[in-house]
């Protein structure tokens, strides 16, 4: 139970063990643990960043999809409008053309009628003249009554 | 059994005798070879193991050995972190680890069955008649640790506050710097500086020594007949299980007090 030299010898071995632990055991161990903690923290941060970036790009892709849809519908609307316009224009053109053709046909018809009338008139005049000639050949001189005949034919 | 030829006093005395080697004339120049050899052997084995693990340490995926040592380190580091505010990795945390591990293993020598080891190993193999296997039940060992911590405490006090600051604190804390209370302050600090290593060393020593005595008493009871053997074995088992707690708890308390004393030395008033 006495305090003796043992205490100092024991204290010396304690000092040696403290030195050994502080010099060789603790620093590499704490360094390894802290390095690993840093690695894990970095990995977690990178994962978080990746997640964030994914969210952003998902948002961006949805945005551009929406834009593309909008553009497409605009284009379709424009195309429809254009198609309607073309159809309208074609209709207009067709109507105008039809009118034009109609007018031309009418004019031709009128001309034809006129020409027919003219020839008919001529034929009637000729017929009348020839009839009158036949009648008058016996009674009157054709030369003497030519002015009357022409006045008649002009009234036809 | 050898106990049958011994009186109870001889039995206990035999188990409580140190293997003392005299290296001088007076009673002071004595070395307890059992305490020194066992503690040093444990130190070499345990800290050699730690050093061996740390040699192959990696910051990547640790193997189980390294994970275990890291668990131990994290435990000690966590305790130190709550008490000591400063760069603990330079000295305080390694000190705490040293104290905890070494005291734990010195205490754990109490788990060895005292009579079996004395008869078969110490006497049978090494021919040692007197051999006490538990270094922390030697008051020299616990005082060696406590006084080393005490010296470190004063060293850090002076290092942090300067010699003048330390002396100022001796006289001006805790009651104030009025010259009238200087004697009271000094007496207070003196008592504190004396009681700290005393309680530190004696708490550990008392627990381990008492644990050993109870094992011896139960061993003696076991030698008195069939009933004694039965109850001695039963209570011995119970005490051994309870002692596992004491061994770990005392090592933990010793470490915590070490850290508390050292960090108190770092704080100025």
Q: What is the 3-state secondary structure (H, E, C) of B47-114?
A: HHHHHHHHHCCCCCCCCHHHHHHHHHHHHHHHHHHHHCCCCCCCCHHHHHHHHHHHHHHHHHHHHCCH
Question: Could you tell me which chain A residue has the CA closest to the CA of B201?
Answer: A7
Distance from B39 to chain A by nearest Cα, in Å? 8
Q: How many Å apart are CA B44 and CA B32, to the nearest integer?
A: 18
Is B68 part of any domain? yes
Average pLDDT of span A27-34: 91
Instruction: Yes or no: say if B109 and B133 are a contact pair by the CB < 8 Å rule.
Output: yes
**Does the pLDDT value for residue A63 go beyond 70?**
yes
CB atoms within 10 A of CB B49: 14
Measuring CA to CA, which residue among B107, B98, B121, B114 is closest to residue B43?
B98
**Does the pLDDT value for residue A129 go beyond 60?**
yes
B36–A contact, CB cutoff 8 A: yes
Structure tokens at B44: 């070499």
**Does the pLDDT value for residue B112 go beyond 90?**
no
What percent of chain B is predicted at pLDDT more than 70?
98
Structure tokens at B227: 């009933």
Question: What's CA A119's distance to the chain center, in Å?
Answer: 62
pTM: 0.75
**Does the pLDDT value for residue A141 go beyond 70?**
no
Instruction: Yes or no: say if B150 and B197 are a contact pair by the CB < 8 Å rule.
Output: yes
CB contact under 8 A, B145 and A13: no
**Does the pLDDT value for residue B2 go beyond 50?**
no
Average pLDDT of span B132-138: 91
| B199 included as an active-site residue | yes
Q: Phi first, then psi: give them for residue B30, nearest 5 degrees.
A: -125, 140
**Does the pLDDT value for residue A153 go beyond 70?**
yes
Average pLDDT of span B237-250: 93
Q: How confident is the model at residue A95 (pLDDT cuts 50, 70, 90)?
A: very high
B67-102: pLDDT as tens digits: 999 999 999 999 999 999 888 998 999 999 999 999
A17–B contact, CB cutoff 8 A: yes
Measuring CA to CA, which residue among B230, B243, B6, B226 is closest to residue B137?
B243
Is B1 part of any domain? no
Give the three-state DSSP class for B149.
Answer: helix
Model pLDDT, residue A140: 62
Continuous H helices in chain A: 5-20, 26-139, 146-155
Instruction: Yes or no: say if B81 and B141 are a contact pair by the CB < 8 Å rule.
Output: no
Which of B23, B43, B58 shows the shortest C-beta gap to A5? B23
Mean pLDDT over all residues of chain A?
Answer: 89
Cα separation values, B114 from B21, B82, B244, B269, Å: 22, 38, 15, 49
Model pLDDT, residue B1: 41
Q: Structural domain of residue B196, as residue ranges?
A: 7-266
Give how many domains chain B has, as a whole number: 1
Q: Are strands B30-32 and B20-22 parallel, antiparallel or unpaired?
A: antiparallel
Model pLDDT, residue B83: 93
Q: How confident is the model at residue B126 (pLDDT cuts 50, 70, 90)?
A: confident
Is B2 part of any domain? no
Average pLDDT of span B20-27: 82
| B203 included as an active-site residue | yes
A4–B contact, CB cutoff 8 A: yes
Q: Which residue reads 């340490």 in tokens? A: B57
ipTM rounded to 2 decimals: 0.88
Tell which phi-psi region holds residue B61, choosing left (phi > 0), alpha (psi between -120 and 50) or beta.
beta
Average pLDDT of span A60-76: 96
By mean pLDDT, which of A12-26, B161-175, B188-202 is the weakest?
Answer: B161-175
Give the three-state DSSP class for A156.
Answer: coil
Q: How many Å apart are CA B269 and CA B261, to the nearest integer?
A: 15
Q: How confident is the model at residue B3 (pLDDT cuts 50, 70, 90)?
A: very low
By mean pLDDT, which of B73-87, B119-133, B246-260 is the weakest?
Answer: B119-133
- Active-site entry in B140, B207, B263, B268: B207
Rg value, chain A, Cα: 61
Average pLDDT of span A106-133: 86
**Does the pLDDT value for residue A156 go beyond 80?**
no
HSE at residue B118, side-chain half, CA atoms within 13 A, is 22
Which of A10, A32, A36 shows the shortest C-beta gap to B39? A10
Greater model confidence, A153 or B22 = B22
Average pLDDT of span B185-195: 93
B175-189: pLDDT as tens digits: 888 888 999 999 999
Q: Which of residues 191-250 of B touch A (CB under 8 A)?
A: none
For residue B213, list chain A residues with Cβ-Cβ distance below 8 A.
Answer: none
CB atoms within 10 A of CB B250: 22
Q: Counting beta carbons within 10 angstroms of the beta carbon of residue B220, is it exposed (0 to 12), middle (13 to 18) or buried (19 or more)? A: middle
Q: How confident is the model at residue B5 (pLDDT cuts 50, 70, 90)?
A: low
Measuring CA to CA, which residue among B267, B269, B16 is closest to residue B138?
B16
Q: How confident is the model at residue B173 (pLDDT cuts 50, 70, 90)?
A: confident
If DSSP states are collapsed to H, E and C, what string results for B11-49?
A: HHHHHCCCCEEECCCCCCCEEEHHHHHHHHHHHHHHHHH
Q: How confident is the model at residue B22 (pLDDT cuts 50, 70, 90)?
A: confident
Q: Which of residues 47-66 of A touch B (CB under 8 A)?
A: none
Greater model confidence, A71 or A144 = A71
Cα separation values, B11 from B3, B21, B123, B128, Å: 7, 21, 15, 16
By mean pLDDT, which of A32-46, B2-16, B128-142 is the weakest?
Answer: B2-16
Q: Which residue reads 């850290």 in tokens? A: B259
- Active-site entry in B22, B178, B199, B268: B199
Q: How many Å apart are CA A6 and CA B33, to the nearest integer?
A: 8
Q: How many Å apart are CA A19 and CA B148, to the nearest integer?
A: 13
Model pLDDT, residue A120: 86
Which of B62, B94, B140 shows the shortest C-beta gap to A22? B94
Which of A4, A9, A29 shows the shortest C-beta gap to B57? A29
Model pLDDT, residue B11: 83
Give the three-state DSSP class for A126.
Answer: helix
């Amino acid at each position: 139970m006495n305090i003796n030299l043992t205490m100092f010898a024991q204290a010396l071995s304690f000092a040696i063990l403290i030195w050994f632990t502080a010099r060789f055991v603790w620093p590499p161990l704490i360094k390894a643990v802290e390095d690993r903690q840093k690695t894990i923290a970095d990995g977690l941060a990178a994962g978080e960043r990746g997640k964030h970036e994914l969210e952003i790009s998902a948002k961006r892709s949805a945005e551009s999809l929406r834009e593309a849809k909008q553009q497409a519908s605009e284009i379709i609307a424009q195309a429809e409008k254009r198609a309607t316009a073309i159809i309208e224009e074609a209709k207009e053109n067709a109507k105008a053309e039809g009118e034009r053709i109609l007018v031309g046909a009418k004019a031709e018809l009128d001309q034809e009628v006129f020409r027919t009338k003219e020839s008919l008139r001529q034929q009637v005049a000729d017929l009348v003249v020839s009839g009158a000639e036949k009648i008058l050949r016996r009674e009157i001189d054709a030369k003497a009554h030519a002015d009357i005949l022409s006045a008649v034919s002009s009234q036809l | 059994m050898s106990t049958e030829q011994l009186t109870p006093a001889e039995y206990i005395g035999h188990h409580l005798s140190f293997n003392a080697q005299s290296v001088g004339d007076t009673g002071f120049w004595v070395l307890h070879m059992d305490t020194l050899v066992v503690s040093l052997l444990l130190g070499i084995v345990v800290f050699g193991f730690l050093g061996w693990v740390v040699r192959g340490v990696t910051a990547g995926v640790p193997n189980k050995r390294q994970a275990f040592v890291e668990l131990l380190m994290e435990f000690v580091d966590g305790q130190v972190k709550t008490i000591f505010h400063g760069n603990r990795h330079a000295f305080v945390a390694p000190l705490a680890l040293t104290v905890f591990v070494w005291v734990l293993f010195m205490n754990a020598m109490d788990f060895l069955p005292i009579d079996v080891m004395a008869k078969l190993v110490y006497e049978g193999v090494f021919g040692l008649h007197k051999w006490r296997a538990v270094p922390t039940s030697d008051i020299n060992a616990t005082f060696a640790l406590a006084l080393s911590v005490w010296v470190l405490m004063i060293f850090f006090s002076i290092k942090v506050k300067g010699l003048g600051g330390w002396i100022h604190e001796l006289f001006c804390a805790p009651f104030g710097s009025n010259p009238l209370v200087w004697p009271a302050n000094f007496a207070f600090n003196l008592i504190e500086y004396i009681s700290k290593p005393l309680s530190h060393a004696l708490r550990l020593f008392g627990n381990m020594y008492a644990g050993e005595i109870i094992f011896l008493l139960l061993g003696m009871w076991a030698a008195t007949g069939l009933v004694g053997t039965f109850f001695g074995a039963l209570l011995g088992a119970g005490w051994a299980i309870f002692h596992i707690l004491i061994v770990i708890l005392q090592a933990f308390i010793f470490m915590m007090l070490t850290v508390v004393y050292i960090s108190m030395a770092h704080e100025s008033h």
